[in-house]
Amino acid sequence: MRPSLQGLIRQLEATGELQRVAVPVRLEGELATIVRRVSAGPAGGPALLFEQPGAAGLPVAANLFGSVRRMEAVLGARGTAHLGGAFEVLLETLPEVDLVSLGEQLNQHPALISCRPVTVIDPPCREQASKEVDLLQLPFPQNWPGDGALAGTGRYITLGQVFTAAPDGSSPNCGIYRCQIHDRRTMAIRWRHGSGADQHHQLFKTRKERMPIAIVLGGPPCLTLAAAWPLPPGLDELCFAGWLQGQPIAVTGCMHGPLQVPADAELVLEGFAEPDETLLEGPFGNHTGRYAAVGSAARVTITRITRRNAPIIPITVVGPPPQEDCWMMLGWERLLAALVRQLVPGVRDLCLPLAWVFRNSAVIALETSDPLQVRTIIRRLWQLPWFSTARLLVLVDAAAVAPGDLLRVTWQVVNEADWQTDLVADSTGARLALDATRKQPGELLEEGPIGRLVSERWKEYGLL
């Protein structure tokens, strides 16, 4: 059976990982507040299925990726414990790991070639076509009171996979961007500068042509992750998601342009990004705990909506951590660790703490504590796209502490760092790195042979 959003929901419900909310819930703030409070609970709380959100008549699923166990359910055999190792094996078979061409190198790897999407006829995502386009009738929530306060509505598509391609249909891209609903047929999409969608849109604007676009809700859960993660530029998300799930993704074509979308999607919105018109997007309540500022965004006109017979609409809610998006990045952390080990000699492992992850900050475990080598590694890390805007990097000894052991990392920082010599700032002061590798004199505490004796007799002591 092909992986799908509804298949994941059935699996989570069978294993006690999903809770239904049967009573009516308002889309303006109430639904998101429930999700935030549940997501902030122990171990991420359960996934939620709202059966009566607003008046749309379609259920909404939230927090589907919001725990370690649910991430394992999505990734299956490539769970977070094995993902980094599997990716590293793939990287090691490349002739060289060159950051500029890495995406295309991976696209041509036999492991990804075997997972290229396959086209199917009569896909589930085309079971129904709406007679008229009306985005306001779909259950997209307003997450924070001030969202969209200056223009349009406060309602957003937050987990939509946005599909674009170059004018000739090449270099397909799938990413997750904020999509603010302005009216029945119009939304503002604010893609990141330099992202795949932004590059495509610039090409169409140069030609003064409308850019075909498709926004997909649901489909294979691994594709949602691939779209959310900052994968190497040029890497085909559909192929990579197929590799993640261990089988090719089934796709179908769009009528309005050279785009392929997941056949098992719940809902597909098709339309065009206009070449010469923009809209205001925002403000938007963000993971920083503040509203992201209003800015100019692409004006997108939706011309067609198709769906399953009984679709479920996935959403995500962001705010101060921990929220679902933090858990989604666990898989990316393992991929990034494998990448950095190949690109920066001397790096053993890394951790993206939940509260730091969206500031590109990390704890990096090194094989060296030589101050000159540590500073060389810091400069190389800052040159990588994933750490080019990192507010803080903390460097520790791999032999002394695991980067994910944040209690011990903190202990290492306050005991080992010399604030006058070990705090490194870039020329602008916007980025900091702290060398917390071992430098203090004195013999380290070791249990020695007595530690082994205690371990052998532990049961005798009668202690837990």
Domains of the chain listed by start with CATH number: 5-314 (2.30.110.10), 344-435 (3.40.1670.10)
Q: Concatenate the DSSP letters of all residues of 17-46 into one string.
A: -EEEEEEEE-TBTHHHHHHHHHHTSGGG--
User: Would you state the pLDDT for residue 202?
Assistant: 97
pLDDT digits (tens, 9 = 90+) for 277-310: 999 999 999 988 899 999 999 999 999 999 999 9
pLDDT band at 52 (very low <50, low <70, confident <90, very high): very high
Beta strands in 144-229, from DSSP E residues, in sequence order: 156-157, 161-164, 173-176, 179-181, 186-189, 211-218
So what's the pLDDT on residue 71?
94
User: How far apart are alpha carbons 433 and 437 in whole angstroms?
Assistant: 12
Q: Angle between the 324-343 and 68-75 helix axes, to the nearest 10 degrees?
A: 60
**Average pLDDT value over all residues in the chain:** 94
Counting Cα atoms < 13 Å in the Cβ hemisphere of 459 gives 1
Percent of the chain at pLDDT > 90 equals: 86
Counting Cα atoms < 13 Å in the Cβ hemisphere of 441 gives 0
Buried b (16+ CB within 10 A) or exposed e, 156-170: bbbbbbbbbbbeeee
Q: Which residues pair with 20 in a beta bridge?
A: 49
**104-144: per-residue pLDDT in tens?**
999 999 999 999 999 999 999 999 998 899 999 999 999 99
Residue-wise pLDDT for 53-102, tens only, equals 998 889 999 999 999 999 999 998 767 778 999 999 999 999 888 888 99
How far is 365 from 350, CA to CA, in rounded Å?
Answer: 6
> Residue 252: which pLDDT band, with cuts at 50, 70 and 90?
very high
Phi/psi at 150 (nearest 5 deg)? -95, -20
pLDDT for the residue numbered 288: 86
Distance separating alpha carbons of residues 104 and 235, to the nearest angstrom: 6
pLDDT > 90? residue 176: yes
pLDDT for 217 = 98
Q: Tell whether the model's pLDDT for residue 449 goes beyond 80.
A: yes
* pLDDT at site 57: 87
What percent of the chain lies above the pLDDT cut of 70?
100
Distance of CA 391 to the CA centre of its chain: 19
Query: Above 90 in pLDDT, residue 204?
Result: yes
Q: Give mean pLDDT, residues 213-217.
A: 98
pTM of the full structure: 0.94
Q: How confident is the model at residue 358 (pLDDT cuts 50, 70, 90)?
A: confident
Cα–Cα distances in angstroms (integers) from residue 317 to residues 61, 321, 414, in the given order: 11, 11, 35
Whether residue 325 contacts residue 359, with contact meaning beta carbons closer than 8 Å, is answered with no
Whether the Cβ atoms of residue 347 and residue 377 lie closer than 8 Å to each other: yes
Q: What is the DSSP secondary-structure string of 144-156?
A: STTTT-SSS-S-E
- Name residue 15's beta-bridge partners: none
- Mean pLDDT calculated for residue range 395-413: 93
Mean pLDDT in residue range 49-56: 92
